[in-house]
């Protein structure tokens, strides 16, 4: 009998949840950047092998202090996912960062949940700083512990073996509680997330989370084999708009070029990306 179940990835921002999910699935389903609040949605991805099927759910990082509407909505999304339940929870921590209030908040939540839990200590490829001891003391509160490098893919096979050992037997078609098809965002949302990742990577701390991306249209041409994508970057203030556009339009060109190249690699098509920048002080209320 094969096994099937849902596995929730939880942790504070920037511990490597999205990198772990992408490397477990060997495909990009969740965007990554050095910035907190990169993941705003719960992203589902399906892993399959001869042992069964795992639906991984990548949740946004949980914040201790909520100082903006974005952070508030991100926290609400993550906490809702935890409370809705799963067959297994992976609590991912970054051993290069000191244990803090966000970790205390998450552990407090997990202590109230009877679901099996695995402590996943990430970034073993980075030797210093090393705060391993601050996390290892919590190991007794979990059903298992594993040390990994999500980026280097170290011990991911061991992690998968552990995950399957905790999942119930069954088939995905018999689980009425599972969402199927599993990748839960449409093509417009996925492309918007790819572009938003490039915004984060190219603007760094200048406009951390004062922007989002909306795709208005996707069309195809057979001759040449081309995708035509129209979208806009929305930001809250004209000063951020100026940063996104850059001197002589250089910044928006860099963002568009990075996004276009990645989309071309994924789609195996030429891409024409029409990307505009607009100011909308209320975009957070509309899109989150």
- The DSSP bridge partners found for residue 7 are 56, 88
pTM of the complete model: 0.65
- Rounded to an integer, what distance in angstroms lies between the CA atom of residue 125 and that of residue 114? 32
Cα 45 off chain centre by: 11
DSSP assigned state of 181: S
Same domain, 130 and 16: yes
- Rounded to an integer, what distance in angstroms lies between the CA atom of residue 42 and that of residue 64? 19
CATH no. for residue 123?
Answer: 3.40.50.300
182 belongs to a structural domain: no
CATH no. for residue 280?
Answer: 3.30.300.20
- Rounded to an integer, what distance in angstroms lies between the CA atom of residue 94 and that of residue 124? 9
Q: pLDDT tens across 60-72, in order?
A: 655 444 444 444 4
Q: pLDDT tens across 113-127, in order?
A: 888 999 999 999 999
Residue in the structure block whose two tokens are 């041409």 = 221
Q: pLDDT tens across 199-214, in order?
A: 877 877 666 567 888 8
**Mean pLDDT on 3-12:** 88
Residue 140, pLDDT > 90, answer yes
Mean of the per-residue pLDDT values of the chain: 80
Most confident of 71-75, 107-111, 240-244, 267-271: 240-244
- Rounded to an integer, what distance in angstroms lies between the CA atom of residue 81 and that of residue 75? 10
Same domain, 60 and 199: no
Residue 78, pLDDT > 50, answer no
Could you give the angle at the alpha carbon of 262 between the alpha carbons of 256 and 265, nearest 5°? 135
């Amino acid at each position: 009998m094969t096994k099937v179940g849902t596995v929730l990835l939880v942790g504070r921002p920037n511990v490597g949840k999205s990198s772990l999910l992408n490397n477990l699935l060997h495909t990009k389903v969740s965007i990554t950047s050095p910035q907190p609040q990169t993941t705003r949605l719960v992203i589902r991805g399906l892993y399959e092998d001869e042992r069964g099927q795992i639906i991984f759910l990548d949740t946004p990082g949980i914040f201790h202090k909520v100082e903006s509407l974005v952070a508030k909505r991100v926290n609400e999304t993550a906490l809702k996912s935890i409370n809705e339940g799963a067959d297994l929870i992976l609590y991912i921590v970054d051993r290069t960062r000191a244990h803090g209030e966000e970790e205390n908040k998450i552990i407090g939540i997990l202590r109230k949940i009877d679901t099996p839990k695995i402590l996943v200590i990430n970034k073993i490829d980075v030797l210093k700083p090393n705060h391993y001891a601050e996390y290892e003391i919590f190991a007794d509160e979990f059903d298992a512990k594993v040390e990994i490098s999500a980026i280097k893919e170290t011990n991911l096979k061991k992690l998968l073996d552990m995950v399957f050992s905790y999942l119930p037997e069954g088939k995905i078609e018999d689980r009425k509680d599972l969402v199927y098809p599993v990748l839960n965002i449409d093509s417009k949302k996925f492309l918007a997330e790819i572009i938003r990742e490039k915004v984060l990577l190219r603007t760094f701390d200048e406009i951390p989370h004062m922007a989002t991306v909306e795709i208005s249209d996707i069309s195809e041409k057979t001759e040449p084999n081309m995708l035509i994508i129209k979208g806009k970057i929305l930001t809250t203030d004209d000063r951020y708009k100026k940063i996104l556009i850059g001197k002589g339009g250089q910044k928006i060109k860099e963002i568009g070029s990075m996004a276009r190249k990645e989309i071309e690699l994924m789609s195996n098509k030429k891409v024409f990306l029409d990307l505009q920048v607009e100011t909308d002080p209320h975009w957070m209320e509309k899109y989150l």
